A and B are shown apart, each in its own frame.
Chain A
């Protein structure tokens, strides 16, 4: 069911306290936030049961604006705090919002282990290929050759594919969208939130201010339309060669599998231990 944006704003934003926000005009972070709110609204989750944790970065500011149980942790560590919350109270719907640097540089170890561990958590990674908040230094997803404030001569390292990393590390659900594909993103987020197990949604997003500008990718609108032009669905991508996929963004569900969820397994162990004690 389509809920008008005005109603979503009214319902979910801490409009009386925490605005204006810190994001640049046109930043993709706002689109991801809107999509998350639509997903939460259509799933009819109660605001009291939602916990939104974030790390540090522009993306990390998102929970501040939202009327849930919100937690702004340390850089890269959102998933560790989220793990503690979920284990302590498995009835909560816990999600972590992270930037690409946050999730895969400083928090890379936590990310792969959260995927391996397969707790019932949702990780949303806003991948803008750069460290936005600190002023445009290269991140683990900055492409080879790209310019940043710490690679002014062109980047000499190679980028991670966050989604592929998540698939390999064992996440139950992995999907990718871009901020252009908002409808798809809504659906993927809904699936991720309801998925039993660790679910990752990577969103390719524009930081036109720190990344686009230095790499002549144009303004927000130009960057976002380039996602439209370069996106291929998972099904289409499967029939394409590696050369054809060069520069393309594969969108859709990359992994969706049923596996034992550690929170549920632990509940079983508790029961066993308690019976033994009796």
Chain B
């Protein structure tokens, strides 16, 4: 737990990520410094030793991701944090975690890309990468942070989902969320739900390390607790050993995909504002969702029936919330600090006449409420 549970604090988004992680039971951090994510590593380095946890600064982000997976395999909840260039380096080992079903959390505090891009300017350019960055079909969960309090609660939630589904969870923050300081009431320890991975209950000889339970998620033994087993990034059979058998290969992929599909109701998170009678709506996430809320409130004041759907879960894409909204509204606006990475998802699930309007900024500047308002009144 974090010592700050249940107190009122002035925190930065990055700091809140650390406290949220600790509250969820995270006891291991490995990473490599990069702006605008470094404060996460710095605060972990201070707080982890005091709660029997481990901090290590590795030689690069590839190593950071490797160490996180290793720690998780040894039974310790683990995370890393980075920004675009480091997130690119993590992709191969991230795929390993998807394939071998190793719970872990990766915070990507987005900055302008590609390449070294725009350090310390806000952007949301890594959204599709968070979903598809590592090669091959793979399950993954991507959550967007929009505020300091979200940085706490959604980070804790990310650990819970990761543990429950044995899947890496990507947290997408951005420079604005990361560096904004806000006064927040942190939930008390009683209010914070902590989920731990399910451990095998059978004797070691009966343990089948990659046989899913009813939800498709295999119970997970830690290295060292008597359930000797094999973990590999090769496609494997239920015993965990490499296989070339096509029916086993297909079964592997389908189980990994279905464990996430089955969890949709719990995994897909969003917030709705003024949507009941909305004729036009904004679909937004991250810091842009906050500008959007202000714009929608202003529009309401001026008699426009506007609403906001704030996406917390970006992937699996919450079509269950988006599709009904598209049937309800005559138009939706999708403001993003990229060239349209979520608006293409909105298009993908649109089966109505609803007009989808993009509003994009790629100049390193934040999207203001005024900008969104101006677009909104034109819908």
Contacts and interface: CB of A to CB of B under 8 A. Distances in A.
Interface of A: 14, 17-18, 47-49, 51, 53, 63-64, 67-74, 77, 79-89, 91-92, 109-110, 113, 266, 269-270, 272-274, 276-277
A88 B78 contact: yes
B33 to A, nearest CB: 15
Given A63-B230, A80-B70, A266 B54 contact: yes
B186 interface: no
Contact of A266 (B49, B58, B96, B229): B49
A85 to B, nearest CB: 4
A72 B231 contact: yes
Nearest to A48: B226
A110 B96 contact: no
B70 A82 contact: yes
Given A84-B70, A85-B73, A276-B50, A69 B56 contact: no
A81 B66 contact: yes
A69 B52 CA distance: 24
B187 to A, nearest CB: 22
Nearest to A266: B54
A270 B49 contact: yes
Given A82-B70, A88-B75, A274-B50, A77 B63 contact: yes
B74 interface: yes
B50 A81 contact: no
A48 B78 contact: no
Nearest to A272: B49
Given A71-B73, A81-B66, 18 more contacts: A48-B225, A51-B74, A72-B231, A72-B232, A77-B66, A80-B58, A80-B66, A80-B67, A84-B28, A84-B66, A84-B71, A84-B78, A88-B54, A109-B60, A110-B62, A273-B49, A273-B50, A274-B50
Contact of B71 (A64, A87, A91): A87
- Give the size category of B's interface with A: 35 or more
B154 interface: no
B228 A68 contact: yes
Contacts of B58: 80, 83, 113
Interface stretch (B12-20, B158-166, B233-241, B323-331): B233-241
Contacts of B96: 73-74
B75 A83 contact: no
B69 interface: yes
A69 B241 CA distance: 13
For the complex of A and B, the 3 pairs showing the least CB-CB separation, nearest first, are: A84-B70, A80-B66, A84-B67
B74 A84 contact: yes
A48 B229 CA distance: 10
Interface in B66-93: 66-76, 78, 92-93
B363 interface: no
Contacts of A81: 66-67, 69-70, 73
Given A64-B230, A74-B233, A49 B66 contact: no
A46 to B, nearest CB: 10
A263 to B, nearest CB: 9
Interface of B: 28, 30, 49-50, 52, 54, 56, 58-60, 62-76, 78, 92-93, 96, 222-226, 228-234, 239, 241-242
A53 B231 CA distance: 9
Contacts of A113: 58-59, 63
A2 B224 CA distance: 27
A105 to B, nearest CB: 14
B90 to A, nearest CB: 11
A89 B223 contact: yes
B228 A67 contact: yes
B349 to A, nearest CB: 34
A86 B70 CA distance: 8
A68 B227 CA distance: 9
B63 A83 contact: yes
Contact of B223 (A80, A85, A277): A85
Contacts of B49: 266, 269-270, 272-274
Given A80-B58, A113-B63, A269-B49, A85 B232 contact: no
A142 B72 CA distance: 36
Nearest to B92: A74
A80 B58 CA distance: 8
Contacts of B63: 77, 80, 83, 109-110, 113
Name the residue in B50, B72, B226, B239 with the highest tally of chain A Cβ atoms < 10 Å from its Cβ: B50
A64 B232 contact: yes
Contacts of B224: 48-49, 51, 69, 89, 91-92
Given A80-B58, A270-B50, A273-B50, A72 B233 contact: yes
Name the residue in B56, B63, B72, B96 with the highest tally of chain A Cβ atoms < 10 Å from its Cβ: B63
A83 to B, nearest CB: 5
A79 B76 CA distance: 18
A73 B50 contact: no
A277 B48 CA distance: 12
Contacts of A88: 28, 54, 70-72, 74-76, 78
Contacts of A51: 74, 223-224
B241 A87 contact: no
A67 B240 CA distance: 13
A251 to B, nearest CB: 30
Contacts of A70: 228-231
A110 B56 CA distance: 14
Contacts of A270: 49-50, 52
A82 B73 CA distance: 10
11 contacts: A48-B226, A71-B231, A73-B66, A74-B93, A80-B63, A80-B66, A80-B93, A84-B70, A110-B62, A274-B50, A274-B52
